[in-house]
Amino acid sequence: MAEVLFGIISPSGKLPVTFGNTAREAAYATEAQYPGIRENNGEPGGPGVTGTPGIAQLVGHYTEDLQMGYRWYEANGVTPLFPFGFGLSYTTFGYSNLSVVPSVDSTTGHAVLAVTYTITNTGSSRGAEASQVYLILPPVAGEPSKRLVGFQKVDLMPGTSQSVTVVIDSSAPNHPLSYFQPDPNGTWAYGNWVTPSGSYTIHVGGSSADTPLRATANLNVVTPPVHLQLVPGTLDLRGAPGRVMAVLSVPAPYSLLDLHVTNVRFEGALALTTALSSDGRAMAATFDGSRLAQLEAGQNVPVSLAANIIKDGTQDMLWVTTTAVVLK
């Protein structure tokens, strides 16, 4: 503590919450939201688990929907007292050289965004900066403002810079590139995570309210997530190669029937046969191994399968990758 007070060590903490200006903002903007209003809904109100008959129940209405925390301030153009991610330091930092590269992970087949930028210590003291990456989904998602999708901390001497790369993986458990689409015939808990195609906006900075870097990236991805597996995983192209089988699969509750997959090609070779499983979640395609002579021998050779599909009534292209052991 003494070293911080005397400026020997610079503090570098960041706020995990937003400090508002008044007691009536965001999820507390109205009395109906908090603490709620009394309603005669047939359920007993009052204190305790069982309540007291004859007392109206206190019901909270979560009308803020997805506008929670810093997202409410962003969506409504309100400047908070201290924004989410804000922190104090004895030095200052500059951000520059933002680059966003969309790609498909060759191992998982999932869409990823590689966000690269430079942080410079522009002050006169050593300090650490926890940079934050925010993202706005395409308009079809109907999501309010931007969301935090990644962060990274660097320790810099005065006048020095460091390049930072944050990889945003669509398969991460926080679904950074997706929005939840409820099942209209089920409860709120039933539905699917959807990764929309289109333009994603990326913001980078030191807090939710201070993101000087901005870029857009077009991510044309196919939902549902499609997995590619070779059977067997070793492609033996020595001598007279036989047939190669590739299996496309999707997790429940998706079905390949919804994509109308045709014209399946593996490394440019057209499929000899294709067959769908009874539940529609897998397709096996066979190929002539002699048409794969262009592949290089190796342990983890990237290979890809392409096909024509119809997605949401529009013709599109499916492209899935994996790795294989190639013997020649």
The 10s digit of each residue's pLDDT in 129-151 is: 999 999 999 998 888 889 999 99
Q: How far is CA 111 from CA 51, 85, 92, 106, 260, in A?
A: 50, 27, 34, 10, 21
CA-wise closest residue to 198 among 81, 285, 311, 286:
311
d(CA 42, CA 37): 14
CATH of the domain at 183: 2.60.40.10
Which pLDDT tens digit goes with each residue over 158-217? 999 999 999 998 878 888 998 888 777 766 667 777 888 788 999 999 999 999 999 998
Same domain membership, residue 181 and residue 134: yes
The answer to whether residue 133 sits within a structural domain is: yes
**Band of residue 41 on the pLDDT scale cut at 50, 70, 90:** confident
Q: Quick one: 296 exposed, middle or buried, by C-beta within 10 A (0-12, 13-18, 19+)?
A: exposed
Same domain membership, residue 240 and residue 272: yes
Which pLDDT tens digit goes with each residue over 83-127? 999 999 999 999 999 999 887 665 555 678 999 999 999 999 999
The answer to whether residue 29 sits within a structural domain is: no
Same domain membership, residue 316 and residue 243: yes
Cis geometry, peptide bond prior to residue 53 (ω within 30 degrees of 0): no
With beta carbons less than 8 A apart as the criterion, state whether 100 and 312 touch: no
The answer to whether residue 176 sits within a structural domain is: yes
Same domain membership, residue 304 and residue 278: yes
Same domain membership, residue 244 and residue 168: no
The answer to whether residue 88 sits within a structural domain is: no
The answer to whether residue 155 sits within a structural domain is: yes
Residue 221 pLDDT > 60 = no
Other Cβ atoms closer than 10 A to 311? 15
Task: Give the SS3 label for residue 135.
Answer: strand
Domain termination site, one of 179, 200, 219 = 219
The answer to whether residue 7 sits within a structural domain is: no
Same domain membership, residue 206 and residue 102: yes
The answer to whether residue 138 sits within a structural domain is: yes
Number of structural domains the chain divides into: 2
Instruction: Say what the pLDDT of residue 7 is.
Output: 76
Q: Which residue has the tokens 């499983």?
A: 277
Same domain membership, residue 244 and residue 280: yes
**What residues make up the domain containing 269?**
227-327
The answer to whether residue 214 sits within a structural domain is: yes
